[in-house]
Structure 1
Amino acid sequence: MSAEPERNNLPFEPKSKPKKANKKASGQKEQPVKQAVVKQSEKKENRKAPYKKEEMAIPKVVSDRMVKRVAAFSGIPTFLGIASLVVSYLLSAYAHIKLPPIAVLLVNMGLFGLGVLGITYGVLSASWDTEHPGTLFGFSEFSTNWGRMVEGWRATRQKKV
């Protein structure tokens, strides 16, 4: 039994990782520059992309789901940020209520900041499974997708080291 939990591959996730080409042994002679250039160009022609474009693309169902969530989780706070500026102006101009400028600034920055965070949450809270639409607020999908993202970062960092 392994310590790692088993996870299902997503429909748009490649089934296997591409294999790396073997490097030459350090004891072999170097080829002349012309031959090396010709062989490199031949390798480029013969080499296929590790994944097909369709394998790497996010399915339309999933991307539509992400766009809807980003519009809701980012659009609402952004709209409220703009509305807070209009309301503070109307209160100042017509109701003669003077709000402290720092309060207006902090409320506005807070709402626009929530809008920026809403973009990330909208993408990560969407279900990345084409068959399963997910929940309304997407708390469980967020934790699953966040874990996948962190796992990818760690795998990338380990490859570089």
Structure 2
Amino acid sequence: MKTMVSLQQQPLYITKPSPWNPRSPTLYPKTLKNPYLPAKTWKLHAEGAKGFNRKPASTRTEKISIGNGTVTGKSYGNNNDDDEDEKMPDIVMERMVVRILVYVGVPLVSGIAMLQVFDIVKEQHVWDVPLWLPFFTTFVTFGASTLGVAYGTLSTSWDPEKKGSLLGFEEAQTNWVEMWREEDDSKR
């Protein structure tokens, strides 16, 4: 009968886990909530932020002047003219993507090809390539590839009816001035 009574005792509260079995769970006593302190609630404060409005965007037709031409298209969003960006025509966007791919791809591929050529020349013992030469060519070609994103964007003709030249020097000069003019107008 004494063995049955000993089984009914409450387990002891252990403050530290056992050093011999670190995977055993630690039991903590339940704490009571203080009824006098207010409960903290978390709430998102993004009600007025862009993209979080539940109202559907309004649509209106407007004329956009890009370069020398004027394009009529739909503009989405609220009716604040100072907050909206002009929509670029799809044909201009396609030209821009092609130019960016060319001006990024050509230097990138040529830089990788030059590294392979230097490796083959050194392995075949044709020429002992100095260590600085692959570093320099990588720096120049990958740097030119990085600048290709900006030049590909600027060298595209922003006029949908005008295709532009092959290298785009004239378009880059015109678009550079136009870009900074828009920046100065937006600050005013």
**What TM bracket, shorter-length normalisation?**
0.5 to 0.7
Distance in 2, Cα, partners of 1:9 & 1:137: 24
Distance in 2, Cα, partners of 1:154 & 1:116: 26
Displacement of 1:147:
0.5
1:6-45 aligned at under 5 Å gives the runs: 9-10=65-66, 11=70
- Note closer, same or farther for the CA distance 1:65–1:90 as it changes in structure 2 (3 Å cut): same
Distance in 1, Cα, partners of 2:71 & 2:181: 17
Q: Which runs of 4+ in 1 moved over 4 A?
A: 11-14
Check conservation: 1:124, 1:146, Cα contact below 8 A: yes
Distance in 2, Cα, partners of 1:59 & 1:92: 50
2:155 equivalent in structure 1: 125
Displacement of 1:56:
2.9
| Aligned-residue RMSD, C-alpha | 2.7
2:87 equivalent in structure 1: 57
Give 1 or 2: higher helix fraction: 1
Check conservation: 1:12, 1:57, Cα contact below 8 A: no
1:71 equivalent in structure 2: 101
Aligned length: 117
1:141 equivalent in structure 2: 171
Report which structure shows greater RCO (CA 8 Å, sep ≥6).
1
Displacement of 1:97:
1.9
Give 1 or 2: higher strand fraction: 2
Q: Percent identity?
A: 30
Of structures 1 and 2, the larger Rg is shown by 2
**Runs of 5+ in structure 2 lacking a partner?**
1-63
**Runs of 5+ in structure 1 lacking a partner?**
1-7, 15-46
Distance in 2, Cα, partners of 1:140 & 1:83: 31
Please tell me the residue identity of whatever aligns with 2:125.
Answer: A
Distance in 2, Cα, partners of 1:135 & 1:111: 24
Check conservation: 1:12, 1:58, Cα contact below 8 A: no
Please tell me the residue identity of whatever aligns with 2:144.
Answer: L
